Every structure is written in C-alpha cells, then in structure tokens.
Amino acid sequence: MSILKAIFGDDNEKYLKRLRPLVEKINNLESEFKRFSDEELKNKSSEFKERIQKNNSLDDTLPEAFALVRETAKRVLKQRHFDVQLMGGIVLHQGGIAEMKTGEGKTLASTLPAVLNALSGKGVHIVTVNDYLAKRDAVWMGQIYYALGLSTACLVHDSALIYDPEYETQDPKSKNEEDQDRDEERDVVGGFKVVESYLRPVSRKEAYQADIVYGTNHEFGFDYLRDSMAQVPEQRAQRGQNFAIIDEVDSVLIDEARTPLIISAPDVESSKLYEGFSRIIPRLKENEDYEIHEKEKAATLTDVGVTKIEKILGIGNIYEEKGTKYLHHLEQALRAEVVFKKDKDYVVKDGGIIIVDEFTGRMMPGRRWSGGLHQAVEAKEGLSVQSESLTLASISLQNYFRMYKKLAGMTGTAITSAEEFEKVYKLDVVAIPTNNPMVRQDLADVIYKTEKEKFLAIAEKIKECHQKGQPVLIGTRSIEKNEMLGRILETKGVAHEILNAKHHQREGEIIAQAGRKGAVTVATNMAGRGVDIVLGGNPPDVQGAEEIKKLGGLLVLGTERHEARRIDNQLRGRSGRQGDPGVSQFFLSAEDDLLRIFGGDRIKGLMERLRVPEGQPIQSKLISQAVESAQAKIEGMNFDARKHLLEYDDVMNVHRTSFYKKRNEIVDATDEKLKANVSAIFEKQGEPKDDFLKKETELGSEFSRALRFVCLRMFDAFWIEHLTEMDYLRDKVRLRAYGQLDPLVEYKNEGYKMFKQLFNLIETNIIKGVLNISLTQQAQQTQQTQQQNLANNNSVLANSGDKAGRNDPCPCGEIDPATGKVYKYKKCCGK
C-alpha cells in the first residue's frame, strides 16, 4: 500500500494540495483587510452580498469572504483563523466532511462557509449535538455575524432565540446589568458558558428568517414535519433546506441515524396491555421461556414460553387473529424487562422514564422510544403508562438531511466511517492536518480478569496522578459505572467532579476546568463534547499550563471500549490539543460488555492458563486484536441496521415526497385554483359537476375556506392511516423471507399498491365531504381551533416531548359536539 501511495500519491494529500492556492489567496488579502475600519468591513459584507445575489458567484467570492471573516474574528473574538481552519472551511463550503482533530477549532472554522453561504440570502443551518451548544455558539460566533450585518438565531426545545447585543434580560436577579460587564463575561467565558442576556426570544418563524440558524437535528427535523402539517402558509416556520453544516457529523448522521423522527398522537388502548404484561413477564425464565440477543438488543420467546403465555391469557393460539393483537405488546414488554437496564439505558426521574443516549451518556428528556417500548418500560418500573403513539408524520434523519441542496459536516473522527458517508450521503471525508504536530502518547490497553479489579486499578492510577497534580479525565460508558467510580474515589479521598446526564446543566463549565492542576473529572464518554479542555483551566492560565505540560499533560483514561472505534478515538482526542503533551489509555476487563459478548470466556481462560494473579493486568496483542475485531463486527452490524432502515424509509420517502407535494398544493393554491382542482376530482370520479357548483352557490363566500378545510382533513386522516398500515406491512413482510421472498421487494410492491389506493380514497372522501359541507358555526370553530392547535404545536411529539396539560385542548383535535370546541385533554385522551 505504501508503495502505491509513493507512486500515485495519497487522495487526501492531493485534495489538500488543491486547496493550498486558495489558502494563499486568502493570506495575500490579509494585509488589505487589516486596513479597513469596522464600518468598512461591514460595508464589504453588503458589497459581497449584492454581488453574490446578482451573479450567484459564491466560489469567486470565497477568498475575499474568508479574508473578511478572518479579520472580523480577530477583532471581535481575538482569534485568528489558522491556515488549517481555512482549509476546513473550504471543504465545508464545497459540501464535504472536514475531519479536524479535537481542539483544532471546528466551531471557528465553520463561520467561514456560514458567512459566505449566508450572503446568498437563502439561509444557513448549523446543526449542533445539543441545545447548550446551539445557544453557546449563537452568542459566541454570533458576534462575528453581527459585526458583518448578518443575523443569528438558535432553536431550543421550547423556544427560539435571536442574538441581539441590544437586548437585556428582564430578569431582576441578573448580575449583568451593565453592558460592559456583560461583554466582559461573554469574552471570558463565551467558549464554555451561555451568556443568556444576549438572546432575545422570538417566534419560530422569525428565527428561521435569520441568516444563520443554530439548532439540533431534532429541532430542524421536527419543524420540517410540523410545516408539512400546516393548514395555511402562515403556519410554516422554515424557508427551505439550502445549506446545512453539521457539527459532530458522525454523531448526528451515524450514531443517531437509526432513530426516525416521529410526530404522533396518543392511542389510549395499549396502556392496560403493557401494565398486564409487566406482571406476567417476570414469571418467565431465561433460556427456558425466552432467549436474549444482546448484540441486537432483542429478546424472543421460545415455544415453551409461547405455550406458557397462551395458558395465562386463556388463548388457544396466539398467532391466530384473536391473539395477534397481543404479540407486539408482548414482545416489547419482554424487551423492556430483560434487555433494557435502569441507569444504563434509562433513568427514572420525576415519575417518568428518561432515555440515556448510548453513545453520549446524556439524558434525553422529552425523547420517547417508539413502537410501545417506552410504555413497556414505564409499566416495568411501576409508573403511570402514557398512551401509545399514533404516527402523524415521520422521516428518517438520513432522508431529512438529503433534502438540503448542499450538506457539509465536521468532526474529529470521520475517516473510519468514510465509506458510509460516501454511500449514504455522497459526502467525501477530508482529513485536515493539525496546526501543530500531535505529541499525545496512546498507551496499550491493560486488561484485568474482573470488573472489580479494573476499577480498583483505575482508582489507584487516578490517586497517583492527583497527588502529583496531573489532571485526569476518566470516560465511562454509563451513568451507573460513572457513579460507581465516583464512590470508589470518595473512599480513597480523591476530590473529583462527576459529569453525566444527571449533571448536564454544568456540563460545559465542568469540562472546561478539567485541565486544571490536580483536576479529576469522571465523565460519561461524550459528555462535554464541543468544549475545549485547556491545560491550566479556562480562562487560560499560562503558568499553570506550563506546570501541567511538565507533568505529561492531561491523562485520559477509558474504563471500557465502546462498540464504535470512533467513540474511543473521540475520548482519546480530549487530550493533546494544539500540540500539547498528553496521555491516553484504556483499562479493560473480561467482564466488560464488549469483551463478554465477543469472547470474554476465552480471555478469562487465557488469563487462568497464564496464572495471572488477582489484580494483575495483562497486555496482549492477541486480546487487543480481538477487541478491534469485535468493534469492527459491531460497526458492520450497526451499518447494516442503518442501511436497512434507510432502504425501507427510501420507499416511504417516495410516498412522503409525493404526498406532501400534493398537500402543499392545496395549502398554497388560490381559491380559484383549488376549486378547479376539486372540480376535476368530481369529473375523474364520475360525479356530476352540477352538485359541486350547487354547493358553491349555496355557501357563497365561505365555500373556498370550507373546501380547503375538507381537502386537508381528508389528506391528513388518510395519510395517518397509510403510515400505520405501512408500519404493519413492514412487520408482515419480514415473515416472507421464510418463503424465499425478498421482504424489501415485497414492501415496495405492496406499498406502491397501497399508495395508489390512498389517493383514490382521499379523492372519494373529498367528494363525500364537499357534498356534506354545512358551514355552521360549529364547523367554523372546528377549523379555527384545529389551525390554532397546529400553530401552537399541540400535537404530542413522540421524540420531542411536547405534553398537553390537563386543561389544554387535546392534541388529537377531537371536537366536543356540545360546544364545537376541542375537548380538554383530561376529558379525552388524558382520562
């Protein structure tokens, strides 16, 4: 391989070579832009905007625009873009993925293509991994955009905010009443703390009108789905998908890609079934009644288990029509009981289940597992079981982001997933060189026989480093292990900070100080991602940093290997930023999940044959290779799972695109166009047009509004039904594999037939609806109420967590015939 590279050259190096002349052009403009006043820089921004919007010459304007952003950043942030950041910015603008190591300044690099593309006037979306980073970057980087006359907004779960230096919080307790104090605080802590007083609350629609919008993938995706359900154009918030830059792109497009975005409403009937099954499942025995498949996070009943369940339920055959309604609920109750673990996969807090992200270790309040799994876990924990969801709209993250005209991403670890990025998203990965050479030492793994021995050894290592003042960051895979290590450190008298999903409010501040002398920070693997760990602490302490460098820099300890090599590399990458010294090492045991599932017994047997004493680790190339082999297997399985989801969602995407196009035509049509379209439906279905004209004469000026309402009601009602039927079809076709049929082909073929029937049903029922229109006061109130419900986002969101209060209008929109208004939640789905 090295001989081929020597002859033909490395593709990555060739790409970087092509970027260097552009970087030179930008550097040559630096002295010119340095002479401009602040006002002249702002005028340059306006000049470029006019030029781009006239000629659409983004590439031609790139050198000047990048030089402009670099000079502005030097003035407002006291940070100058390095040449490698310019390279990263060019890759992003060209629609690629820039792999930039931790601490190389990805956030600052993203401002270059963000400004250039925002000058087109079509908007730029910057996707962050959490709300905290969306707010932080809107304030921190918003200073650059504001100085150039561009607006910045951010989306958080329950609000939208715009960066406004003129805005002052109305909070009387605020310590930042003076502008100067606020500015000083923002300049000192802006990299790891949100200075809220710069963020002015606005409507969602106003936020999307900003030139640059920060938010999580869920916020952008759910807003798209809500816009697709709008009853009138004014209810739409987004203005299209132009250009998206995804921060931590591997986390967003790979780790989270298996979870589709779903907007749903409650289906009350299932709650009692889950409560009942939660009492039955504990009576079953592992290996006799059911088997656990840890790799797939699944569990299946054996024939013995099925017979036992049939006796308990008093059913002759659970696979016959009367019993099939129990199957789905039974499978989910079994998974909840035996596969999903408390304080690892979820935590119980405030009477509810909060999911813990398996990749980041963060709690995800408001997110719910779909398919009834969340209800099954609630029943298992003896909590109040919320109604199961009826899907109103859904989309996979892959298909949402593929809607953007241009997509780009940045992360510290993309090369190991380059194949998936190229195959699924047509995105090339470019490894950007570091500004200073990497000098971190990555030590070989040490392996212990038991988990107990491993954690005691980690605690001793931490104590030793703490005593000499070397800062230590420890990465754990779960909250449970995180807190267990914290307790061990307490017994050894080691002062430390615990950082996990339960302490997310101070996440940025804790991780920012993890580089201080003697600091010990125990964090779930991905906690604090996006915040730099600066040696000596933050704000920087030059003398403290030098002392720590002499001690070897930040020591990063991993407590077990993750399923994906990327996550391990991200943990290692917390140390050795910007050419600083650092050390990383993983402590493993034969009882770790990864090793246990993929050959833990063999490793234990090897240690016993070698007569390794208790507490004594081994370092073996054989075991390290086994770990890497296990990771490669799991990565392959996860890739297949994501590919499988995408293949099925690609079928639904054809349906979704066609359906929403037709639905949007109704929302956007003029009154005359709508009448002509519905009149054509009457003709197509062989119904007398005279009936249509008669109804128009009867209702007069109210006819168009009533017609639009009927059309949208039919579209939405039958689309919900179609989504449910496609879900059932997906489960149904899996069994056809036993008959040597390809389930995906079957899904496509039957789905196509169902989709054709969908529009026939919609048209037939539009005719019925039109002929039965009676525009009473009740119908008017119905329409207005339903529009208001959508405008207020009262639909229950399976993954975004909106929840109706007892006296709020019920999210299902059902009308009380006595009042003509939507039922209150407590009298409808909240009974």
385-407 burial string, b = 16+ CB within 10 Å, else e?
A: bbbbbbbbbbbbbbbbbbebebb
Q: End of a domain among 599, 625, 651?
A: 625
Distance, CA of 120 to CA of 441 (rounded, Å): 45
189 and 314 fall within a common domain:
no
Q: Pick the closest to residue 555 from 497, 514, 616 (CA basis).
A: 514
Q: Residue 734's closest CA among 238, 328, 294, 251?
A: 328
Q: Are residues 220 and 328 in the same domain?
A: no
For residue range 297-352, list pLDDT tens digits in order: 888 888 899 889 888 888 776 654 455 567 778 888 999 999 999 999 999 998 99
pLDDT of amino acid 432: 94
Q: How many domains does the chain have?
A: 4
| Residues 372 and 456 placed together within one structural domain of the fold | no
C-alpha distances (whole Å) from 552 to each of 461, 546, 586 are 14, 10, 17
Please tell me whether residues 31 and 155 are part of one structural domain: yes
* Residue 671: inside a domain: yes
Pairing of strands 821-822, 815-816: antiparallel
3-state secondary structure of 208: helix
Strand 159-163 versus strand 815-816 pairing type: unpaired
Token pair listed for 283: 């009576």
486 and 586 share a domain? Answer: yes
Average pLDDT per 10 consecutive residues for the chain, totaling 831 residues = 49 92 96 95 95 87 97 95 97 96 91 97 94 92 97 92 81 51 56 79 96 96 94 93 95 83 76 88 92 82 87 74 64 91 92 84 80 89 82 88 95 85 91 91 89 94 94 90 92 88 68 88 74 80 87 93 86 88 92 77 72 78 78 85 86 94 94 92 86 84 87 87 82 74 90 91 86 55 42 36 51 44 54 54
Q: Are both 387 and 482 inside the same structural domain?
A: no
Confirm whether 1 is domain-assigned: no
User: Looking at the domain assignment, is residue 65 inside a domain?
Assistant: yes
Q: Which residues contact 354 (CB under 8 A, 6 or more apart)?
A: 346, 347, 348, 363, 364, 365, 501
For tokens 């039109």, name the residue.
Answer: 770
Q: Which residues contact 714 (CB under 8 A, 6 or more apart)?
A: 762, 765, 766, 769
Alpha carbons 242 and 335: distance in angstroms, whole number = 41
Q: Are 394 and 225 in contact (CB under 8 A)?
A: yes
- Residue 4 located in a structural domain: no
Pair type for strands 406-411 and 243-247: parallel
Same domain, 504 and 421: no
In-domain check, residue 193: yes
**pLDDT at position 527, please?**
59
> Which residues, including other chains, have CB under 8 Å from residue 444's CB and lie 6 or more apart?
585, 619, 624
Residue 639 lies in a domain: no
Tell me the Cα Rg of the chain: 29
816 and 739, same domain (yes or no): yes
Q: Is 684 exposed, middle or buried (0-12, 13-18, 19+ CB in 10 A)?
A: exposed
Dist CA 544 CA 515 (whole Å): 9
**What does 95-122 look like in DSSP terms, one character per residue?**
T-EEE--TTS-HHHHHHHHHHHHHTTTS
CA dihedral 379→385→391→392, nearest 10 degrees, is -170
pLDDT of amino acid 564: 82
Residues 431-442: tens digit of each pLDDT: 999 998 889 999
**Contacts with 759 (C-beta within 8 Å, 6 or more apart), sequence order:** 662
d(CA 499, CA 474) in angstroms, rounded, equals: 10
Same domain assignment for residues 427 and 366 = no
482 and 543 inside one domain = yes
CA distance 243 to 408: 8
Measured CA to CA, the distance from residue 513 to residue 533 in angstroms comes to: 7
Tokens read off for 432: 């950007």
For the chain, the residue count is 831
Q: Are residues 188 and 331 in the same domain?
A: no
In-domain check, residue 640: no
Please give the structure tokens belonging to residue 307.
């017979």
Measured between alpha carbons, how far is residue 399 from residues 260, 299, 417, 424, 747 in Å?
10, 29, 18, 10, 18
Domain boundary among 392, 421, 450: 392
> What pLDDT is attached to residue 501?
65
Q: What is the pLDDT of residue 272?
A: 82
Q: Say how far apart CA 499 and CA 508 lie, in whole Å.
A: 10
DSSP string, 375-439: HHHHHHTTPPPPPEEEEEEEE-HHHHHTTSSEEEEEES--GGGHHHHHHHH---EEEPPPSS---
Q: Which two tokens stand for residue 443?
A: 């030590």
Give the residue numbers spanning the domain of 290. Answer: 265-392
Long-range residue pairs from 57-60, CB within 8 A, at least 24 positions apart, any chain: 58/93, 58/116, 58/117, 58/119, 58/120
Task: Output the domain CATH number for residue 305.
Answer: 3.90.1440.10
Is the same domain home to 230 and 285? no
Q: What is the CATH number of the domain that holds 152?
A: 3.40.50.300
Distance (Å, rounded) from C-alpha 777 to C-alpha 820?
8
| Nearest partner of 91 among 419, 427, 412, judged by Cα | 427
Residue 778 lies in a domain: yes
